[in-house]
Amino acid sequence: MDGFSQIRPISLREQVVEQIRTAIIEGRLKPNDHIVETSLTEQLGVSRTPVREALILLEREGLVVAAPHRGCFVRAFTVEDVDNIFSMRIALENFAGERIINELSEIDYDHLEHLMETQRKAIVAKDFKRVRSIDMNFHQYLIQRSEHPLLMRSWQELVAQIAALLYIRADAIPTYDEFLAIKDHEAIVHAYKKRDLDDLRAQNYRINTRVANECRFAVEKLDKNT
């Protein structure tokens, strides 16, 4: 019988995490917003237990801050946070490169090219939510190809913070050229194809330094307006 989708093996807590995380990353829950448990339980139709468990996990991801006797708030990033996040991203992406630069095949390059082409189409269609999702998928694919559990775990702890910062950047720089990411990805793929680790490290540094500067500007602008 056709017409059915496979059931996702996902717990109630994970579903709550996913919804709150997405709301934070997409800016529907904004920096310094108070996250009221009772409001969430009513809106999501769940008990307090999965909401509390979800907030604990989101605090570990760096998206939520718990204040004693006050509750949980959406994290407001500082300039120092931006520097820490992107310096760590450079380290993780370089480590992944060291592990996989001689391992990638034409199948991998075809997949990366497909992601870039899909991202181009999303930019033209002005589907910027999809643009950012594909952007992160490009980098996550390379991290996952490392097959290094601790590297992948460290990336997962960082990726939501990066995604949140990119949405803040989008609000602060409405004329941002989304095609810059395509050029960045092309440079990364080119370095991998040459199996040139020095070039890959240089590209990772160049790209993340530029994006960090853009996010730093966005965080400062947001701070001035609040």
Give the domain ranges of the chain. 12-74, 79-224
12-74 folds as: Arc Repressor Mutant, subunit A (1.10.10)
Instruction: Say how many residues make up the chain.
Output: 226
What is the mean pLDDT of each successive set of 10 residues along the chain, which is 226 residues long? 50 88 89 91 89 93 91 94 98 98 98 98 94 94 97 93 93 94 98 98 98 96 83
Residues 6+ apart with CB under 8 A from 107: none
**Max Cα separation, the chain?**
57
Distance CA 135, CA 150 (A): 22
pLDDT of residue 3: 53
β-strand partners of 74: 64
pTM of the model: 0.88
Res 5: pLDDT? 47
Provide the CATH number for the domain formed by 79-224 in this structure. 1.20.120.530
The pLDDT score that the predictor gives to residue 208 is 98
In angstroms, the CA 192 to CA 103 distance is 9
